[in-house]
Amino acid sequence: MIRSTLRCGITLLALSLAPASAGAEAQVPRYAIGSDGFVTAADVRAHSRMGLDIAEIRSALTQSPPDFAAALTRYAFGRHFAWRDSAHSLAYFADDYHGRMKRSLPGAALIEPDPAFQHRFMSAALMGTGLFEGGGPVRSTAAEARVAAVETGMLALLVNWCRLELSEASIRGPQSNNWSLANGSPKNWSELFAFWHGPEGKHALHDEMSRISVRFGVVEHPTKALAAALTRGQAALLEKRWPEGEAAAVRASLDQAALLLFLDRVADLDAGIAAGSTTALAVRAALRAAWLAAGDSFARADETAAKALHETIMRGKEAPKSADLRAAARVAAVKLGLEPARLGRAI
């Protein structure tokens, strides 16, 4: 099914870019990637390979004991996303990428003054310091909690990286008149999809949203709505026009992903806390990691409520109740204009 929709999408893109007399599919660059009718106009194959770094970090963390040193190295220095004279990495983005976090994550900036908050969380989980330091004779908190934080945190980072690309797309063309497929708004538009989809639809948000959609009975896969908005918007970008409505729809899809990721971890919270021991630590760590992305959505919906939630989730001694978090997510979704069906049974 995906293969057939991709082929159809390539045909449509080719027809929009190539002369009518040309063989449509022959005009599509080999670098094009896509799904659900959307096909990238720019070459973003390297960006999609970030998912391979995530896969390697996951693999390191499944060792017994978890190989935090190997995971930290891949997080910090990357490997598969060739960039400039080295490789891009999750850490490079998370550590206030080029000073752009406040403009890319305006909601998060309202509740978290440190623009490198994502990196602070991820590096602490990997190194067992800060929020994940131990107590007494124990250096660091339980490995299970640190692993849960990193695994969920990587996905939250991808949501926010997509948000950064949307922000950059809104600036480069409309404000700087850069509509280039090499480094302008259309390139950012394609990069957003690459980070979402990952290599062959694996190790990234598309894969995670597939699992969560089944769990909560979300009828339409989040990638489908995202791809539809990206397809419409890309046509405008190639004509050097900023697609305001489609950009809003893309933003809504990213909010949907952030809330679903958060609510998926919320669904495990009460049982995990009741189980106690390392299981309780792990579910709280995963919830905090999901908040890295969800916090921006909540704060744009209601700054005051989000600040209170931020304190409860990130700094509270007692774990929050899942019913309270679901209720807060339901209110935030309404204020963000998300239809309830997009969150299924999660709320």
User: pLDDT at position 29, please?
Assistant: 78
pLDDT tens-digit map of 129-175:
999 999 999 999 999 999 999 999 999 999 999 999 999 999 999 99
Instruction: State the pLDDT confidence band at 84, using cuts at 50, 70 and 90.
Output: confident
Residue-wise pLDDT tens digits, 269-326: 999 999 999 999 999 999 999 999 999 999 999 999 999 999 999 999 999 999 999 9
Q: Are strands 86-87 and 82-83 parallel, antiparallel or unpaired?
A: antiparallel
Residue 85: what pLDDT?
87
Identify whether 17 is part of a domain: no
Predicted pLDDT at 24:
44
Residue 78 lies in a domain: no
Q: What is the mean pLDDT of residues 55-66?
A: 98
- The pLDDT value recorded for residue 10 is 37
Mean pLDDT to the nearest integer, 86-103: 96
Instruction: Give how many domains the chain has, as a whole number.
Output: 1
Q: Which residues pair with 133 in a beta bridge?
A: 140
Per-residue pLDDT reduced to its tens digit, 185-195: 999 999 999 99
Residue 87 lies in a domain: no
User: What mean pLDDT do residues 233-247 have?
Assistant: 98
pLDDT in the model for residue 200:
95
* Contact present, 328 and 335 (Cβ < 8 Å): no
Residue 53 located in a structural domain: no
Tokens of 69: 């040193």
Residue 27 pLDDT grade (very low, low, confident, very high; cuts 50, 70, 90):
low
Burial class (CB in 10 A: 0-12, 13-18, 19+), 3: exposed
What are all long-range contacts of 310-313, with beta carbons under 8 Å and residues at least 24 apart?
Answer: 310/111, 310/112, 313/287, 313/288
Compute CA distances 287 → 121, 211, 268, 323, whole Å: 12, 17, 9, 14
Q: Tell me the pLDDT of the chain averaged across its residues.
A: 93
Cα-based distances in Å from 269 to 175, 235, 280, 283: 44, 43, 8, 6
- Section 45-54 average pLDDT: 97
| In the chain, % of residues over pLDDT 70 | 92
- Is 36 domain-assigned? no
Residue 31 lies in a domain: no
Is 247 in contact with 233 (CB distance < 8 Å)?
yes
Tell me, yes or no, whether 193 lies in a domain: yes
Report CA-CA distances (Å) from 337 to 136, 255, 301.
47, 10, 9
Give residues with Cβ within 8 angstroms of 110, minimum separation 6.
299, 303, 306, 307
Task: Give long-range contacts, CB 8 A cutoff, 24+ apart: 136-145.
Answer: 141/281, 142/278, 142/281, 142/282, 143/65, 143/66, 143/68, 143/278, 144/278, 144/279, 144/281, 144/282, 145/278, 145/281, 145/282, 145/284, 145/285
Q: Which is higher by pLDDT, 234 or 10? A: 234
Query: Token match 């089944």: residue?
Result: 214
Does the pLDDT of residue 116 top 50, yes or no?
A: yes
Is residue 175 a part of any domain in this protein?
yes
Q: Give the whole-angstrom CA distance, residue 155 versus residue 66.
A: 19
Q: Which domain holds residue 162?
A: 93-346
Q: Taking the model in full, what pTM does it have?
A: 0.92
User: Given pLDDT bands bounded at 50, 70 and 90, which one contains residue 28?
Assistant: low
